[in-house]
Amino acid sequence: MTDINAIESKDLTKRYDGVTVVDHLNLTVKENEVFGLLGPNGAGKTTIILMLLGLTEPAAGSVKVFGFDPTHDPIKVKRLAAYLPEKVGFYENLTARENLSFIAELNGISRQETERLTGEVLLEVGLDKSADQAVGKFSHGMKQRLGIAEVLIKKPKIAIFDEPTSGLDPKGINHLLDLIARLPGVGTTVVLSSHQLYQVQRVCNSIGIISKGHMVIEGSIDQLSRDTMAGGNYIIEVETENPGAELVGAIEKIKGVNKVDVKENSLLINTGTDLRADISRAVVNSNFPLIQMKIHEFSLDDIYMKYFQEG
């Protein structure tokens, strides 16, 4: 079922007072993946999300969420989609349970079902002990978790989080990311808008980087790191002792190796495919110790910074 697209936008455009905020954006999110929407502040991430939910109308282009057009069928889209805005607010005079029940009622969930579900989701986000406390007394982290509970109670096909980790402590961030990472397992596609690159890298399968309303790059993280940093190739890092010219020569002879760089005790080998087996054989056969070997992983920071330097 992963070939169904949860979100598909075509030339999506939004203007505010003549200023184009989102410019011919083409975005595809597959079902049951965690998609990271990246970009600096003011890149148009929130506007894109609002258009996905039918909360604001696009100036041009189209967007489909599970085949429904949010502009014409907002109710159908909102039945499938849950949204956690950047600044979540709750009715402070109501308890956590009451806040959730209200949302459940708006979603047409029956009374008995609501009771069962609220208990369930509050336990899941770790708020079961504060369920009957007024939300006004909640800390920021607790409110954020209640926001997640509210997303969970809808059992959405797609959940959209806008900067969900802002203002949370490291423990809170971890807990929240764990909850998000679990969602595709229960059939929920996730769109995570953030500029916390490390967090995005931890939970997302694919990302789209937005800058000034344009999609700069889109794809899976593995693919992107190879495409952007090594021209589509692998970089294999080999740690050994005092590598000499003969070792470099031996490795260069392997078919598929493009380039070998020596850096103190390690070699950086640019290859077209994963040649770790051949390389290790070459190292050992040349009587050099093979201390460690790994495919060099680029962090999302590298990719992100590269794009924003070029842009």
Note the residues at the interface with other proteins (CB under 8 A). 46, 50, 53, 55-56, 75-76, 78-79, 81-83, 85-93, 102-103, 105-108, 150, 162
Alpha carbon distances (Å) from 274 to 55, 87, 224, 247, 303: 46, 44, 16, 19, 21
Secondary structure class of 17 (helix, strand, coil): coil
**Residue 13 pairs with which residues in a beta bridge?**
60
Question: Could you give the CA distance from residue 228 to residue 306 in angstroms, rounded to a whole number?
Answer: 8
Which of residues 167 and 219 has its CB atom nearest to other proteins in the complex? 167
CB of 83 to other proteins, least distance (A): 4
CB of 216 to other proteins, least distance (A): 23
DSSP state of 18: T
CB of 114 to other proteins, least distance (A): 11
CB of 23 to other proteins, least distance (A): 18
Which of residues 78 and 145 has its CB atom nearest to other proteins in the complex? 78
CB of 267 to other proteins, least distance (A): 49
- Cβ(27)–Cβ(66) below 8 Å: no
Closest CA to 261 of 253, 250, 269: 269
Which of residues 105 and 274 has its CB atom nearest to other proteins in the complex? 105
Which of residues 71 and 205 has its CB atom nearest to other proteins in the complex? 71
Residue ranges of alpha helices (H) inside 22-155 are 45-52, 74-80, 96-106, 111-124, 140-153
Which of residues 104 and 275 has its CB atom nearest to other proteins in the complex? 104
